[in-house]
Amino acid sequence: MTTAAAPIRTLGFVLYAGVNGLDVVGPHEVLARLRGVEVRMIGSRRGPVATDAGGLTLHATHDWSAANVDVMVIPGGRGVDAIMEDSAFVEALGEAYDRASEVLTVCTGAVLLAQTGRVTGRQATTHWAHRVQLAGLGVEVSEERTCRDGSWWSAAGVSAGIDLALRFVGERVSNRLARQLTVAMEYDPQPPFGRGTLDALAPEARAALISALTPSARSPAST
């Protein structure tokens, strides 16, 4: 990865079948508002890309040949495990990472990036259910909602992508702009059912959710 440079002129979102819609749309809502930035939705091929929840389709406007961007956003989603098995995709992602100045990963996007072998020994966060998986790929796991290790910015689960994008704008561009964007979006989370953290659940419910969402421990060679 190259040294971070200003200004930010190009921004690329990586798409693949089974990507999480909010992992893309949340950060996009923030970052696409940066003045003078060209946004590229990058996939293996141009065209529609189905998200993991169904009923929502995104559109890849560019293929890997246009993946030379200043800032790259790698979202997670239920499709991560499958796309990690696509060696051509992983190789292209790694090459795009090498050319980018900075990268933002959301949720299991950190796991997907780690599969490229480019970030061994770096620190990042991811969804709580995939921390063991990320550690197994050689990444030092943070339990924070957002994490920065130099030019790698990472967010925990799904909704944390919005927080990460705002943090990125604040630290990389302007605190004032980040504050303005927060108010413009009326970003004032007030979850009706409490905090979205494991300790908010009763022990039995917590155990059931962990069992349902945590993948089996796997070695880097098997992912």
List, by residue number, the catalytic residues. Answer: 107
**Structure tokens given for 97:** 């990472």
Q: What is the 3-state secondary structure (H, E, C) of the chain?
A: CCCCCCCCCEEEEECCCCECHHHHHHHHHHHCCCCCCEEEEECCCCEEEEECCCCCEEEECECHHHCCCCEEEECCCCCHHHHCCCHHHHHHHHHHHHHCCEEEEECCHHHHHHCCCCCCCCEECCCHHHHHHHHHCCCEECCCCEEEECCEEEECCCCHHHHHHHHHHHHHCCHHHHHHHHHHCCCCCCCCCCCCCHHHCCHHHHHHHHHHHCCCCCCHHHC
Instruction: Check if the beta carbon of residue 51 is closer than 8 Å to that of residue 58.
Output: yes
Is the sign of the CA dihedral 69, 72, 75, 80 positive or negative? Answer: positive
